[in-house]
């Protein structure tokens, strides 16, 4: 059996990825920060499908909490085959109006969080000379978005981190790839009005908003043997909005 740790796993794309991995027969650790009830409910459902599952709490911005989270996973599973870095927060507003604390928190979660998680799992993966890491960026990390400068900057950093780490870890047979979703129907986009969502759907060549499961499918593909010769790549389930 193979085992996955998914940060941001209690909701949105992370939760969809947890369900998809469980359907494939993987053991799943659902990482969460504050949504304990949602994480436990999800884990109960995953266990009901017949796979090992546990909920593990950590603020990914805190390296000590991340190390304890990974130690917990390894104590329970004894093995970790894939890390999915799906934890993230967003911010919408003019760059002139974001305060320093919010700017720092965005980078602490979205960029430092990826780094802390990768650092924590690497000793295990390097010892085994095996493993896969999938980061989650955004189409705005590829092209930038007006009134989302800070968020776009963090997600662009995730793409650069992914590409560089893939080159570093390739000789150890550890693959590192990125999923960069477009407009997906998750709570992160709940601030958008129905008119805004309709406009995004109209701009998207496929004519609709994506689902969390469609983004999760890209994550699962990158973790699979079908992607065994892919590393340093950005897969973009965005309906053609960014090419």
Give catalytic residues, as residue numbers: 151
Size of the chain in residues: 243
Of 150, 152, 181, 142, nearest in space to 12 by CA: 181
Six-digit token string for 128 = 């085994």
For the chain, where are the alpha helices, taking DSSP H only? 12-23, 36-48, 63-77, 100-107, 113-128, 139-143, 149-169, 194-203, 212-223
DSSP letters along 146-205, please?
A: TT-HHHHHHHHHHHHHHHHHHHHHGGGTEEEEEE---SBSSGGGTTS-HHHHHHHHHHST
User: Which residues, 6 or more positions from 76, have their beta carbon under 8 angstroms from its beta carbon?
Assistant: 29, 52, 54
Distance CA 157, CA 186 (A): 22
- Compute the C-alpha angle 170/136/13, nearest 5°: 135
Burial class (CB in 10 A: 0-12, 13-18, 19+), 50: exposed
Distance CA 43, CA 35 (A): 12
């Amino acid at each position: 059996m193979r085992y996955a740790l998914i940060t941001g796993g209690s909701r949105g794309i992370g939760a969809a990825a947890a369900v998809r991995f469980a359907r494939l027969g993987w053991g799943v650790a659902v990482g969460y920060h504050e949504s304990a009830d949602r994480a436990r409910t999800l884990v109960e459902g995953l266990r009901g499908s017949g796979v090992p599952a546990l909920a593990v709490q950590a603020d990914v911005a805190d390296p000590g909490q991340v190390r304890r989270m990974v130690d917990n996973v390894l104590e329970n599973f004894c093995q970790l085959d894939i890390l999915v870095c799906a934890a993230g927060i967003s911010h919408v507003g003019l760059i002139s109006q974001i305060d320093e604390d919010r700017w720092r928190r965005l980078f602490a979660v979205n960029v430092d969080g990826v780094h802390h998680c990768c650092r924590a799992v690497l000793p295990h993966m390097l010892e085994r000379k095996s493993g896969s890491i999938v980061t989650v960026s955004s189409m705005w990390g590829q092209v930038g978005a007006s009134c989302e400068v800070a968020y776009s900057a963090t997600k662009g950093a995730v793409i650069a981190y992914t590409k560089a780490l893939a080159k570093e870890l390739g000789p150890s047979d550890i693959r590192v790839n990125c999923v960069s979703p477009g407009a997906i129907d998750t709570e992160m986009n709940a601030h958008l009005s129905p008119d805004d969502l309709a406009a995004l759907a109209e701009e998207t060549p496929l004519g609709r908003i994506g689902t969390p499961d469609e983004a999760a499918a890209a994550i699962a593909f990158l973790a699979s043997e079908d992607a065994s010769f892919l590393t340093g790549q950005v897969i973009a389930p965005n309906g053609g909005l960014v090419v």
